Structure 1
């Protein structure tokens, strides 16, 4: 079978000799069965010679097909057809388990629904918002802008309501960053952020962190890569629970002052953090994109976040959104604005913040009593150091406890597990005992 797939045959079959054309026509040949699954492709240099294009052109086309999981392998080991179609999916998120009854699921760092504000009055108010059901593609309703701006860390030129925090990050990167660009991001970071970056096909540059935030030396080294963007979580890190200190934020700003990289700030847990909002938008308003999600504080079914930046950047992001949902539901924007202004709802969020802290601290204390020390912090989970991730995962699974391996949260080697604590109301000693066993292969 492989002998019939020659560079000459590919060259005669593929008409469009651009990178995109070669990738599209090759994937069409695979779907049609002309290039069967398991077939070995000719060497890049041979294809390039027959097509009279540069080897770099073929290499880029093959990179796109590898990203889509249509072909696999590289270099001297050869390249094979591995699939006849591509269904995009966030691999880290998609690999999360579907656990049955009896399993203590500590893999999802999600809010406790009992600690969310009731939505009935908020939604009733949302139904009265101006221009409800209009097809006008408005960026943000005035009352949501006003409510969000009251807690915003700087005075931006423009705001945009989006369908959740990750939707805001996804649209921003798609609109502003080209595939193949270098994008720096904290190590570790949210697995959804890595899914988005990998789907976009950028070159991910990890930045090491400590308890104060991204390390200046690591960020300075990353900046040498001619970054298109730096993505980080200044207020509360969703994985480690750390907050970037004011001193560290200033140092980060000094380093980025020597770069023209976009600064994308993801505040995914909002007022679950007791720290005040923080942003480099004060120093770099023309290229900072600050995103606040309200899913974990006010309700995931609101599917709402607010993004701010310069008027030019917001216009670019909005233009990209015009290909799909041109605006975010005004009803949900109105409901969110009501919750942000409602005193009782703010009290519920404050109580939730206290409860989440108690739950996190309770497991941390139980682990410390067993000689396992985790960094102080807040949020919905603990970042627990272990020796072997596979051993830890198997050991905990044998005790009907599900967590996430640290490898899901980085492109670098990891020796951690992420343990969600937001819905852990008891059983701290039991979980700590199991983690202690899981830490000793």
Structure 2
């Protein structure tokens, strides 16, 4: 593309104006795919602006998938803007319909979920049904969750699932270019969310007890606006933060002004006690507790409780879209939480999930594959060669999630994530499954005598 020709079509030489002008040219087809753009310095000189201004425009176009920088060809046009996609989440191992065993998605076993009929009927009889009053959280739901909240929450909000809450908390805490610290490995969807928000991700390494203090200390030097972590039932590693580790992390966070976001993704299905920093930092901690896996994914409810200003910012941002979560569904969950029979059913599900996870972990350990962690609905399995392990499992009819989806730098991953909630309870079938997973994990290089 001729530099002077493009410069003549840019009326506003700001970064936003350059990006907008080129977007219009791409949309209308004047500039087509595979067109090579001028250099940053060349266009900046022609427009009389700094190279940084053009670079910022290019970054905006790149974020929307319209251009790509290639080494020899420079920057080329890809086409009109696309809707941003959660790439990691959408690629969690799609191998076709022929695979018999799906260990990809950590969804609950439907046979272990409580029935909804009575709760839905009770909620439908509640006062104020179909009222347009925007209830941040219904009185019944707040009364049901508040007694078990690990600290005094200044603000409350019911939202459409845990990841919606985490996304909105990050979106309202950070501006594009800000930094957010997260434990690593972490949820694939969280990484997609943070990339969409446009923040710089600061990874914090973890061990069996959660985020490592030294790693958090290093991350805090970058002055992140928020620290997001899972206190228990951590996915994908399955660790839970101990009181001693939480105290160490709190000492590091004491002088900072960082917002603390605690993602309690499996909630009442966790076998570990909840250790929250909210008791020490109630004014800048927000706990997000999801009830999808314990009480039903179709309820699409998580409760957000904590720092009043952070929760209020989320409420305001939600008013541009859904505005509020259905009071009918909120009261359905409240009814479930108050039923003794449902509590017994959830406790039973917690025991079954823990047993299934522990049995597969033990079978793998007997074959020389140690997974670590003791909580959650997944196993984090170390492998010699991730792509080869995926192919081996697929050849045996098993689909799993690649570990590279759960880290900032995919090339550094050598793991698989296995969902365990729906594992077979048949010991022979489980043993055969462990044989294949161990073969895939080691590449046949070293198996114990038990195999």
TM-score interval for Structure 1 and Structure 2 normalised by the shorter chain: over 0.9
2:446 — aligned with what? none
2:219 — aligned with what? 222
CA distance in 2, matches of 1:179, 1:126: 41
Q: Aligned to 2:79, what secondary structure does the other structure show?
A: coil
Q: Aligned to 2:203, what secondary structure does the other structure show?
A: strand
2:431 — aligned with what? 429
Alignment deviations for residues 281-310 of structure 1 (CA, whole Å, 9 cap, x no partner): 112222212100100000000000011122
Q: Give runs of aligned pairs for residues 276-355 of structure 1, distance below 5 A.
A: 276-355=273-352
Q: Give runs of aligned pairs for residues 145-294 of structure 1, distance below 5 A.
A: 145-294=142-291
Shift of 1:101: 4.3
Shift of 1:20: 2.8
Q: Aligned to 1:264, what secondary structure does the other structure show?
A: strand
Matched, 1:22 2:18: yes
Q: CA RMSD in A?
A: 1.5
CA distance in 2, matches of 1:169, 1:20: 28
Whether the aligned pair in 1 keeps the contact of 2:206 and 2:212 (CA below 8 Å) is yes
CA distance in 2, matches of 1:6, 1:284: 57
CA distance in 2, matches of 1:319, 1:62: 31
Q: How many residues align?
A: 437
Q: 1:6 to 1:287 in 2, by over 3 A?
A: farther
CA distance in 2, matches of 1:226, 1:204: 12
Whether the aligned pair in 2 keeps the contact of 1:289 and 1:307 (CA below 8 Å) is yes
The unaligned stretches of length 5 or more in structure 2 are 444-451
Alignment deviations for residues 321-352 of structure 1 (CA, whole Å, 9 cap, x no partner): 11100000111000011111111111111000
CA distance in 1, matches of 2:224, 2:377: 31
Whether the aligned pair in 1 keeps the contact of 2:36 and 2:73 (CA below 8 Å) is no
CA distance in 2, matches of 1:74, 1:154: 51
Shift of 1:19: 2.7
Q: Aligned to 1:73, what secondary structure does the other structure show?
A: strand
Whether the aligned pair in 2 keeps the contact of 1:176 and 1:317 (CA below 8 Å) is no
Q: Aligned to 1:338, what secondary structure does the other structure show?
A: helix
Alignment deviations for residues 376-416 of structure 1 (CA, whole Å, 9 cap, x no partner): 41221110011110110011111111001100111131111
CA distance in 2, matches of 1:22, 1:252: 44
Shift of 1:76: 7.2
CA distance in 2, matches of 1:106, 1:394: 14
Q: Aligned to 1:40, what secondary structure does the other structure show?
A: coil
The unaligned stretches of length 5 or more in structure 1 are none
Whether the aligned pair in 1 keeps the contact of 2:98 and 2:397 (CA below 8 Å) is no
1:374 — aligned with what? 371
Shift of 1:102: 4.5
2:139 — aligned with what? 142
CA distance in 2, matches of 1:102, 1:226: 45
Q: Aligned to 1:185, what secondary structure does the other structure show?
A: strand
- Counterpart of 2:79 (choices 76, 83, 94) is 83
Whether the aligned pair in 2 keeps the contact of 1:151 and 1:277 (CA below 8 Å) is no
Q: 1:70 to 1:157 in 2, by over 3 A?
A: same
Shift of 1:125: 1.6
Q: Aligned to 2:357, what secondary structure does the other structure show?
A: helix
Whether the aligned pair in 1 keeps the contact of 2:119 and 2:332 (CA below 8 Å) is yes
Alignment deviations for residues 242-272 of structure 1 (CA, whole Å, 9 cap, x no partner): 1011111111111112221111111110011
Shift of 1:75: 7.1
Whether the aligned pair in 1 keeps the contact of 2:210 and 2:245 (CA below 8 Å) is yes
2:415 — aligned with what? 416
